[in-house]
A = this chain, B = another copy of it.
Amino acid sequence: MTDDVAEIARRAGERLIVKTDAIVEGRHYLSSDPADQVAKKLLRVNLSDLAGKGARPLGYVVAAAFPDGVSEAWIAAFARGLGEDQRRFAVSLLGGDTTATPGPATFALTVFGGVRGRLPRRSDARIGDEIWISGTLGDGALGLRVSKGEFPGLPPAAARALVERYRLPEPRLEFGRLVLPFARASMDVSDGLVADLDHICQASGVGARVLAEALPLSDAASVLLAEAPELFAEVMTGGDDYEVLFTAPASSAARIAAAARKAGVPATRIGYVGRGRSVRVLDRNGQAIEFGRRGYRHF
């Protein structure tokens, strides 16, 4: 595995890519989570991988191991969730397999996408490229903590917005299709900005400088960070963003901005590609910010 998305070599036309992901009840979601949301998130995180490569979804297959004694209502809600998102994202179920398990519910979803032209890889970043991100960062990771009851003082509208982003990520499919033809390296952010940008750096043999002040935040995240600035580390490393992270030459900036406007999703320049192999996040004074396990500090 040298990439998070695999291409099946084709002789002509669209390139076909495939991604698979498994989730286990109690590990990747709570037993109490609504079944339709479990299904939707499972599909969406895979669609986000397609978005990160500029692919259009061609279809998916799902293998479901339902626990012995699962209710028909749960299965029906799971199927309804998939059906609703199939229509929303214009993707079809191509096949599946259902079995029973004495253990927790376990689902594996495999999604296929088609890419016209060049497939942007993790290893395509070049020194001098600008680093871009779609949408806003940190909402998913903050939403997880809000959903656990943290930050009770947060205004209800902001709390709802963050929890919603955690529960139902929005795969940036149109953004990816319209913008990524102008990109070099690209992937979706699921493990956190720092970790996924590090994947690009390692694969490309480059370093990255990220300007902390440039990071796009939602209104809800801004409200929360104004009260608790130490949560900035969560924004950078928390994961569950499902935004498109990419690099591009500076000469592409105008076309990227225009394509992002067409997609209706902001694209923000957050840094640049340089020498070295590491991801460095710089504050307004150009000082590197180091992320520990539970926060960050200046050096």
Contact = CB atoms under 8 A, between A and B. Distances in A.
Interface residues of A, number: 43
A6 interface: yes
Nearest to A7: B94
9 contacts: A6-B95, A8-B58, A8-B59, A8-B94, A18-B61, A18-B112, A20-B62, A20-B108, A103-B106
Interface stretch (A22-30, A144-152, A160-168, A239-247): A22-30
B8 A10 contact: no
A95 B24 contact: no
A225 interface: no
A64 interface: yes
B99 A27 contact: yes
Nearest to A94: B6
Contacts of A61: 6, 18-20, 110
A94 B22 contact: no
Contacts of A8: 16, 58-59, 94, 112
Contacts of A12: 11-13
A223 to B, nearest CB: 34
A100 interface: yes
Contacts of A28: 99
B1 A96 contact: yes
Contacts of A104: 101-103
Given A16-B16, A104-B103, A108-B108, A22 B63 contact: yes
A270 interface: no
Interface in A90-118: 93-97, 99-104, 106, 108, 110, 112
